[in-house]
Structure 1
Amino acid sequence: MNFIVKGTFKAGEKWEHFTKTVASQNKNSAFEKAYSLIGSEHGLRRTLIKIESAEEEKA
């Protein structure tokens, strides 16, 4: 299943919005994948990433 994960992350002084599509078995795994991807792309800890929602992608 694909999930659309939306949230914000700390970029300098501002909080930037993001939307990621991740392949995952369930919602919790989608959260973990999003934390991992955003954290590695921007060099951030999980405390600087806020996930607002994860919705299953409609086919």
Structure 2
Amino acid sequence: MSQFTVSGEFQTRDGPREFSRVVDATNENVAREHVLSRFGAEHGLKRTQVTLNEVTAE
């Protein structure tokens, strides 16, 4: 598995907030899915509230 850095922003009550997460995944699509599901589980956000701007392999 490779490491990917996923960056983007999500909506809060105070406006958009930027983030960057490092995840282990087999490819970029799986890395995107991990980040979206993690934000839903940890912050109760829907996928439409999270914008992924960049996915880079490390």
The number of residues matched between the two structures is 57
Q: TM-score, normalised by structure 2?
A: 0.93
Contiguous gaps of at least 5 residues in structure 1: none
The 1-side partners of 2:17 and 2:41 are apart by: 16
Percent identity, aligned pairs only?
33
More strand by share: 2
Alignment of 1:37-56 (within 5 A): 37-56=38-57
Q: What is the one-letter code of the residue matched to 1:31?
A: R
Q: What is the one-letter code of the residue matched to 1:23?
A: D
Contiguous gaps of at least 5 residues in structure 2: none
Runs of 4+ in 1 over 6 A off after TM superposition: none
- Matched with 1:21 is 22
